[in-house]
Amino acid sequence: MSKEPVWSGSPVASAPYTPGIKAGGLVFVSGQVPMDPATRAIVEGGFEDRVRQCIKNVEAVLHAAGASLEDVVKVTVFLTDMDCFARLNAVYSEYWGSIKPARSCVAVAELPLGVDVEIEAIAAVDG
């Protein structure tokens, strides 16, 4: 099976990974933190703004792979504070239609760059 790296201009920390990998009809999007790709700074504002930026970063990788949020079949969300779960759900619901992807939400002690949310996804694509 071949695999193809996907680069979108999305933020990549100094860690050795690729923002996305296209393989076997799937796109695997690495965990995206709420970093603005233009400024390379964590977005200002509240928790909801940070969730939106994570999803925008996921979406940018998907678009670079020829996919969209509609193609997402699985999402994993990492939160440092599970008290934000309902707030996550409110924002998350803005982005997916009636058939929402399968999802896991995991509480973690800390995330890279001191952020409070990180989102990764898997999408199904043709070719």
pLDDT tens, residue by residue, 54-102:
999 999 999 999 999 999 999 999 999 999 999 999 999 999 888 999 9
Domain architecture of the chain: domains with CATH: 3-124 (3.30.1330.40)
What's the predicted TM-score (pTM) here?
Answer: 0.94
How far, in Å, are 42, 121, 125, 127 from residue 118 at the CA level? 12, 10, 23, 28
Average pLDDT, the chain: 93
How far, in Å, are 14, 42, 63, 108 from residue 114 at the CA level? 15, 10, 27, 12
**Is residue 11 pLDDT above 70, yes or no?**
no
